[in-house]
């Protein structure tokens, strides 16, 4: 009987310690998850947009270099008998090819980074400013996919006396869907690329003033 009386307090004390450790550990896990959820909503959108923008820029720029299209491939300035610009004709076949190739290149590049991650210093989870950038990196993983469409825009600007610079730009619109365990959203943004330009001599008709979508 004396042996049992001595063992019971030790057993109860050890059990209480284990329960307290599990409770504290559970609180830490809960707090960590809450912080991770906050970081997911603030870090992932900006990181995903930056990664997607860089991927689209690289892919489309590379594709434009491969296609090596000139202004004459896409458009032609038609002059009247008196030497004044009468109209600008576009090559719909080349424009459609350019749009398709650029869109496909962007899609392929986004597919390569479908599974991404953002690194957050462990100190950021403490909420303390002094150590917010300290400690090992914690990886928050997320998936990223997207859909794309593109169009060409035409704009004009003065290039001197009786001369106008005609720009043709490719505008790629990206709809990037990001998702993680506790976060999901869609980011939409445009990226434009200078495709070709030429100097037009003469007075441009007012119909071509400003910026307009040509295809």
Average pLDDT of the residues of the chain: 77
Mean pLDDT on 192-212: 72
Neighbours of 156 (CB within 10 A): 17
Report phi then psi at 10, rounded to 5.
-65, -40
List the beta bridge partners of residue 154. 168, 212
Alpha-carbon distance of 187 to 175, in angstroms, equals 6
Q: Which residue has the higher pLDDT, 180 or 157?
A: 157
Residues in the chain: 215
Q: Is the pLDDT of residue 1 over 50?
A: no
Q: Is the pLDDT of residue 171 over 90?
A: yes
118-157: pLDDT as tens digits: 776 666 666 655 655 666 667 777 788 888 999 999 888 8
Task: Please state which of the ranges 28-37, 55-64, 84-93 shows the lowest mean pLDDT.
Answer: 28-37
Name the residue among 71, 73, 109 with its Cα closest to residue 200: 71
Q: What is the pLDDT of residue 79?
A: 83
Q: Is the pLDDT of residue 35 over 60?
A: no
Q: What is the pLDDT of residue 86?
A: 82
SS3 at position 161: coil
Task: Please state which of the ranges 42-56, 181-195, 197-211 shows the lowest mean pLDDT.
Answer: 197-211
Alpha-carbon distance of 74 to 66, in angstroms, equals 15
Q: What is the pLDDT of residue 11?
A: 56
Q: For residue 207, what pLDDT band results from cuts at 50, 70 and 90?
A: very low
Q: Is the pLDDT of residue 32 over 90?
A: no
Alpha-carbon distance of 122 to 137, in angstroms, equals 6
């Amino acid at each position: 009987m004396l042996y049992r009386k001595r063992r019971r307090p030790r057993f109860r004390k050890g059990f209480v310690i284990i329960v307290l450790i599990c409770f504290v550990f559970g609180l830490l896990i809960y707090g960590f998850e809450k912080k991770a959820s906050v970081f997911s909503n603030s870090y992932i959108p900006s990181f995903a947009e930056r990664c997607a923008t860089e991927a689209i820029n690289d892919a489309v720029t590379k594709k434009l270099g491969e296609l090596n299209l000139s202004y004459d491939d896409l458009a032609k300035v038609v002059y009247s008998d008196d030497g004044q610009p009468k109209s600008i004709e576009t090559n719909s076949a080349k424009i459609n090819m350019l749009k398709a190739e650029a869109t496909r290149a962007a899609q392929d590049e986004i597919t390569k980074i479908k599974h991404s991650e953002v690194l957050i210093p462990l100190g950021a989870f403490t909420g303390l400013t002094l150590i917010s950038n300290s400690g090992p990196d914690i990886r928050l993983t997320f998936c990223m996919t997207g859909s794309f469409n593109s169009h060409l825009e035409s704009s004009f600007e003065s290039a001197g006396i009786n001369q106008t610079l005609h720009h043709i730009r490719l505008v790629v619109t990206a709809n990037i869907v990001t998702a993680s365990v506790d976060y999901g959203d869609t980011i939409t943004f445009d990226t434009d690329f200078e495709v070709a330009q030429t100097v037009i001599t003469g007075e441009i008709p007012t119909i071509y003033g400003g910026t307009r979508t040509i295809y």
